[in-house]
Structure 1
Amino acid sequence: MAATDPQAAPSMTSQVSHRPPVTALYATDTKKNVRLLWHQEPCPRFYGSWMEAAMKGRRLLMLDEYKETYEFSSPRLSFRFLPIPGAEWVGTCKVGCAKTGYEAQVHFKAKSLFGLGGGTNRVEGRIKSISSKKTLYEIDGYWDSAVTIKDMSTGKKKMFYEVKGSMAELRMPQLVNPQDVARTESVLVWGKVTRALLKGDWAKASRAKKVVEDNQRMERKLREKEGKTWQAKFFQKLDNGDWVWRYPDQPVLPAPIQVPLPTHGPYIVS
């Protein structure tokens, strides 16, 4: 399912730490009583001709109407430089809910060294009971096109997920309220860098990047001189390392920058 109204499910994304690089996100859908709390830290490892980035952090999807919380992990992002450059998701993603007693394990399959062994974006998985370990459903397909689901009790298979034309309908973010854009918003901070890169002017992009970095260093020195400690505006870090939304009783307000969503969702359950 996908929302047709960009203001139906607003979200706030913020880089809450520079070293290590941590990004936090909080999204709310007040119409459907859904909340998403997420923070992520990429941890790359290099292996010569390729590298992988494990995504540390915590991801929670809360269905408040049913009082259900789903926690899910992330696969690893793999970049291969030789012999054929490319990037793909690999590894296992787990999704579980203690209240319902169900868990899903989805395996993102990697291609072989020379690109053999099937297409990219292949997924296989199982949905099972946490207590009995019994497999209830099996899923198979490609996450960027279509995935089928098989009921193990009947042996019947049907379409579970289908992208169709939704990817083609994706549009660039739109600035709808310029006066509400904070000076720390990425669209302003990195705007000159982005425009130079889009034009292929690498020298201009490099100069603009240096200006951004110099300004950040100057602001940090000014805070240190005044004895101030920087704090994330919308998120706070708990003792266990988790980042949480500072205003749990308040939904996220509509943002000045919005992404037009497809008119129909990619998820089809027949």
Structure 2
Amino acid sequence: MRRVFSLFKNVRPGSDLTRFQFIAVVAWSISTTRPVIFGLAPFNPILGATHHVSNGTLNVLLEQVSHHPQVTALHATDEKRKLEMIWSQQIIPKFYGTSVEVVVHGKREMKLINHGENYVMNTPKLLIGFIPVPRTDWTGNVTIQCEESGLLAELCFTRKSFLGFGGSNRSVKGRIVDTSTKKTIYEVDGHWDSVVTIQDVMDKHETKAVIYNGKEALSKLKTPEVKDEKGLWTSESAVVWSEVSQSILKKDWAKAGEAKQEIREKERELVKERKSKGEDWVPKYFNISKANYSKEEVYECLPKQKLVPPAPIVCNTFL
């Protein structure tokens, strides 16, 4: 992000700082579209499963709040930097014979508390193709809006055509608009798995600034480490799937399959038990409600706690 400062040689409180913050959020949003590995997933979402991890002073908590449909909720807080993220993700697959389009419903919110700014954004669609070769791509339109600053980003994720002759592979293009004047102030261009740049439309002579380098960022990713085994919750995904993970690492596929089947059977028994008692499952860390968007019933998730506590699992990678 250092190169972004070239757009604001004398960053000062007010519009310059607000624009810089908005660009940083746009870059972060693009960075969440990671390359997806094509193949069979050894893990399935388990109702009530959690993942609790810390990165410096940023503490993140995820919970699987629904199984049918699949809904995951995220809450992240950084008390030192006065940052909060609330994110719900509901996947709805649509089958088209030669491909599967996964629509991701749910709202992402990032709050910069000290600045009184709230950024709201959506997620692109995931396209899984089977012919002529297996592939995965993020496609579709994403909007990022901050009502307090009056800034809006419109991004379009595209892929190559069916036969690979047209389009641009893993491309992201878009613009940042000042909604008060309805004028485009920056243009965004690049590839979300490599380099994304931004250009000031009022100064075409200004060098484009790199706001995200996917190859560099992904090369720095490290596996999170368990720093406090006793602090792990029984619902922690790393605990739930530990035997399956160990078997996969040992390439003992038969044992991995057996361990996975045991988890699924236990989940079915819990469902039967709740049904016999007339009980509904209630998320532990989130309140959920339902709303209708474009004729689809979509879950909205709000955290029950104000701050996410430090986690026993630590990630030391800073992007």
| TM-score normalised by the chain length of structure 2 | 0.76
Q: Which runs of 4+ in 1 moved over 6 A?
A: none
- Report the alpha carbon displacement of residue 226 of structure 1 after superposing the two structures with TM: 4.7
Pairing 1:48–2:97 present: yes
1:169 to 220, 226, 232: 220
Pairing 1:179–2:230 present: yes
User: 2:20 maps to which residue?
Assistant: none
RMSD over equivalenced CA pairs, Å: 2.0
1:246 to 279, 284, 304: 304
Q: Is the 8 A contact 2:196 2:211 kept in 1?
A: yes
Q: Is the 8 A contact 1:148 1:157 kept in 2?
A: no
- Residue by residue, what CA displacement relative to the aligned partner does 1:129-175 show, whole Å, maximum 9, x if unpaired? 22432111111111222112111112234223232633222111211
SS at match of 1:223: helix
Count residues in correspondence.
Answer: 259
Aligned pair in 2 of structure 1 residues 18, 84: CA closer, same or farther (>3 Å)?
same
Q: Is the 8 A contact 2:227 2:313 kept in 1?
A: yes
Aligned pair in 2 of structure 1 residues 162, 238: CA closer, same or farther (>3 Å)?
closer
SS at match of 1:238: strand
2:209 to 151, 159, 175: 159
Pairing 1:237–2:288 present: yes
Pairing 1:134–2:183 present: yes
SS at match of 2:310: coil
User: 2:267 maps to which residue?
Assistant: 216
2:65 to 16, 26, 43: 16
Distance 1:169 1:199 in 2: 25
Pairing 1:196–2:233 present: no
SS at match of 1:242: strand
Q: Is the 8 A contact 1:146 1:159 kept in 2?
A: no
Distance 1:227 1:44 in 2: 30
Which range moves more in the overlay, 194-203 or 174-183? 194-203
Pairing 1:109–2:153 present: no
- Report the alpha carbon displacement of residue 6 of structure 1 after superposing the two structures with TM: 2.1
Aligned pair in 2 of structure 1 residues 25, 9: CA closer, same or farther (>3 Å)?
same
Aligned pair in 2 of structure 1 residues 122, 234: CA closer, same or farther (>3 Å)?
same
- Aligned pairs for 1:10-89 within 5 A: 10-89=59-138
Pairing 1:259–2:315 present: yes
Q: Is the 8 A contact 1:77 1:89 kept in 2?
A: yes
Look up the equivalent residue of 1:260 and give its one-letter code: N
Distance 2:182 2:284 in 1: 43
Distance 2:64 2:77 in 1: 19
Identity score, percent:
35
Which range moves more in the overlay, 234-243 or 97-106? 234-243
Aligned pair in 2 of structure 1 residues 126, 246: CA closer, same or farther (>3 Å)?
same
Look up the equivalent residue of 1:152 and give its one-letter code: V
Look up the equivalent residue of 2:151 and give its one-letter code: Y
SS at match of 1:171: coil
Question: Which of the two has greater helix per residue?
Answer: 2
Which range moves more in the overlay, 16-25 or 114-123? 114-123
Which range moves more in the overlay, 91-100 or 231-240? 231-240
Look up the equivalent residue of 1:256 and give its one-letter code: P
Where does the alignment leave 5 or more consecutive residues of structure 1 unmatched?
266-270
User: 2:196 maps to which residue?
Assistant: 147
Aligned pair in 2 of structure 1 residues 229, 118: CA closer, same or farther (>3 Å)?
closer
| TM-score normalised by the chain length of structure 1 | 0.89
